Structure 1
């Protein structure tokens, strides 16, 4: 039986253009010891509100409040089959000048310069997302990304998420 897991996370940059990253604790179930974004699982009452999840997770993992976030917007929706689980991730991008103010058992928070982000051990799909974002930057639309395999091994395919019909057409 295939299960689903829905996650919301954020790429948060500061005025020095550093990315807030978490080095995950070796005791974590998902991606132990790897570097990732701030975020986490959607609660049942949040399933139609990934923005609420990402704001909650940012507050819980960093102490940074909604009022300290600027321009937080949905930039990626990632889908991946991992064994018997479909993972859907909503990735937001925004800015903050606030410093993390709490410690969590999730892992250690660090500001990493943009040019050093890819030098860390990262989960496969997160690495591809960061490569894409660092190449293309902010877009006026979200991107849809699907992880899979082709003859050459694992791939992630990115497509702009745009309404295929003109406004007012059904």
Structure 2
């Protein structure tokens, strides 16, 4: 049986630094690895991933919605992980302050942009960060589907999400 999991994630910047969490070794998903702030959508948030993203930001950092500037959906990632289809909504934003709370999910650090990709990051998120750092904020949403390239290496295929009926 194939199951579905929906998540919302925030890449939060302050100046040139990205807020990253070194995940606790007790976490089920990617223990000990570096990640952005985020989590699963609650049932009432299925049609509103932005609300889920703001909730996760608050739960994991203590940052209030008014302290999150220019929250924009930039990516939707889709991947098959065993018998689970994972759909992740990734937002970018800037923060009005750097002081954040710490939770039992991991330890938060502000990482200079030029050091981010040197961390131990899950493949799909590493690929997303490399794409974002190369392309920057886009006027459209990128959709990434995980799979393999022509040489059978893990890859993410990026496609701009556009309405084909709009000019």
What is the TM-score normalised by the length of structure 1? 0.95
Unaligned runs of 5+ in 1: none
Shift of 1:101: 3.2
> Which whole-Å CA distance do the structure 1 matches of 2:117 and 2:35 have between them?
11
Is the contact between residue 14 and residue 98 of structure 2 (CA under 8 Å) also seen in structure 1?
Answer: no
> Which secondary structure state, in structure 2, belongs to the residue aligned with residue 128 of structure 1?
helix
> Which whole-Å CA distance do the structure 2 matches of 1:146 and 1:8 have between them?
16
Cα root mean square deviation, aligned:
1.0
- Residue 112 of structure 1 corresponds to 111
Matching of residue 52 in structure 1 with residue 59 in structure 2: no
Count of residue pairs brought into register by the alignment: 166
- Residue 14 of structure 2 corresponds to 14
Task: Single out whichever of 129-138 and 95-104 deviates more from structure 2.
Answer: 95-104
Task: Single out whichever of 84-93 and 100-109 deviates more from structure 2.
Answer: 100-109
Matching of residue 149 in structure 1 with residue 148 in structure 2: yes
Shift of 1:149: 1.9
Shift of 1:97: 2.5
Unaligned runs of 5+ in 2: none
- Residue 31 of structure 2 corresponds to 32
What is the TM-score normalised by the length of structure 2? 0.97
> Which whole-Å CA distance do the structure 2 matches of 1:67 and 1:153 have between them?
42
Shift of 1:98: 1.5
- 1:112 to 1:30, Cα distance in 2 relative to 1, 3 A: same
Task: Single out whichever of 96-105 and 77-86 deviates more from structure 2.
Answer: 96-105
> Which whole-Å CA distance do the structure 2 matches of 1:56 and 1:100 have between them?
17
Shift of 1:165: 1.4
> Which whole-Å CA distance do the structure 1 matches of 2:116 and 2:80 have between them?
25
> Which whole-Å CA distance do the structure 2 matches of 1:13 and 1:103 have between them?
17
Shift of 1:153: 1.7
